[in-house]
Amino acid sequence: MKILQLNSITDLKFQTMKTMKTMKNISFYALLSIAMIGCSDDDTAPEVINDEELITTVILTLTQESGDQVVLTTVDLDGDGPDEPVTTVVGNFSQNTQYQGAVQFLNETEDPAEDITEEVEEEADEHQVFYTVSEGLNITTTYLDFDDNDNPLGVNITLETGEASSGSLTVTLRHEPVKPNDGLESAGGETDITTSFDVTIE
């Protein structure tokens, strides 16, 4: 009566000592390497990054034929930081007058300040500046510059005033708006700049 013991997990006799030694070695070297990497604690300071595409400053200069100017400026040097943008209006508009307008976008955290207007003009088909006027303020604007598809850009405009009134003039720069469009409402895209000025026609 021969019973063959097939009941088998693989024979478990092996070189226990040798394996243990290997394990010890592995753990030793692993610990050593992690300790070494851990100790190479370089306290070198990272380099500063100034936001490259930041627009800190908008200057809208409106000049009438006589040379008199109205200058509208907004400055926000800390970008999306807690300091609010500072808006200044120098001069009042005259009644029933035509002005030549030019807007400038600057990054003043760089020295010298970077003129972002150039980039906007180079990528005219991807940008548009919108000028919106509050109700009761007698101002109309007309685009003077156009992209390759003959859609308006709005870096250069003419601005015509009517009778004496006051209200707000808002400048909005949109990146990648739908072009052509019927104005801000339907333009979509991403707002890069929006700033309002309280102006007076006298």
Partner 1 sequence: MRLFALLLLLCCSMQSYSQDCNNTLYGSLLDIHDGSVLTGATVIVAQTGVGVLTDLDGNFVISNLCSATYQLQISHPSCSTKAFSVLIKDDTQKTFKLEHHLESLNEIIVNGKKTNRATKSIYENLVDQKTITTFSSGSLGDALNSISGVSSLNTGNTVVKPMINGLHSSRVLIINNGVQMQDQEWGAEHAPSIDINAVGTLKVIKGAGALQYGGNAIGGVVIASAPKVPLLDSLYGKTIFSGSSNGLGGTVSSSLTRSNQNGLYTAFQGSLKRYGDFNAPNYNLSNTGVFERNIAATIGFNRIDYGVEAYYSLFKNEIGILRASHIGGAEDQVQAIASPVPSIINDFTYNIDAPRQDVTHHLARIKGFKNIENIGLISLQYDYQQNNRLEFDVRRGSNKDKASVDLVLDTQTLTIDVASDISEKLTTKFGIVGSLQTNYANPETGVRRLIPDYDKYSIAGFASGNYDINQKWVLEAGFRFDYTHMNVFKFYRRSFWQDRGYDNQFSDLVVEEIGNQLLVNPKLDFYNPSFTIGSKYSFGLYKLFANYSLSSRAPNASEQFSEGLHHSASRIELGDLQFTSETAHKISLTLQKIGERVNFTITPFATKIDDFILIEPTGIRQTIRGNFQVWEYRQTQAQMYGLDLDANLSLTDNVRFVHQFSLVKGYDKTSNEPLISMPAANTLNSLVYTNPNFNNISIAIQSNYVFRQNEFPNTNFEVVLPDSIQTVDISTPPSGYHLLNLNITAAIRPDMQVGLYVNNLLNTSYRNYLNRLRYYADDVGRNITLQLKYNY
Residue 161, both tokens: 């005033």
By C-beta, is 68 or 145 nearer to partner 1?
A: 145
Distance CA 73, CA 61 (A): 9
Q: Is 7 in the site for partner 1 (CB under 8 A)?
A: yes
9, 149, 150, 163: which one binds partner 1 (CB under 8 A) = 9
Distance CA 55, CA 75 (A): 9
88, 178, 180, 202: which one binds partner 1 (CB under 8 A) = 178
Residue type, position 142, single letter:
T
Q: Is 202 in the site for partner 1 (CB under 8 A)?
A: no
By C-beta, is 68 or 108 nearer to partner 1?
A: 108
Distance CA 155, CA 146 (A): 9
Residue 9, both tokens: 């997990």
Q: What is the dihedral of CA 160, 102, 109, 54, to 10 degrees?
A: 80
Work out how close the CB of 102 gets to partner 1 at its nearest, in angstroms, rounded to a whole number. 18
| Site residues (CB under 8 A) for partner 1, limited to 55-114 | 55-58, 74-85, 109
Radius of gyration over alpha carbons of the chain, in Å? 34
| Site residues (CB under 8 A) for partner 1, limited to 180-199 | 184-185, 188-196
By C-beta, is 92 or 194 nearer to partner 1?
A: 194
- Distances, alpha carbon 104 to alpha carbons 23, 88, 143, 199, in Å: 69, 15, 15, 19
Distance CA 160, CA 146 (A): 19
**Binding piece for partner 1, criterion CB under 8 A, among 96-104, 130-138, 143-151, 156-164:** 130-138
| Site residues (CB under 8 A) for partner 1, limited to 13-52 | 14, 16, 19-20, 23, 26-27, 30-31, 34, 37-38, 41, 43, 45-52
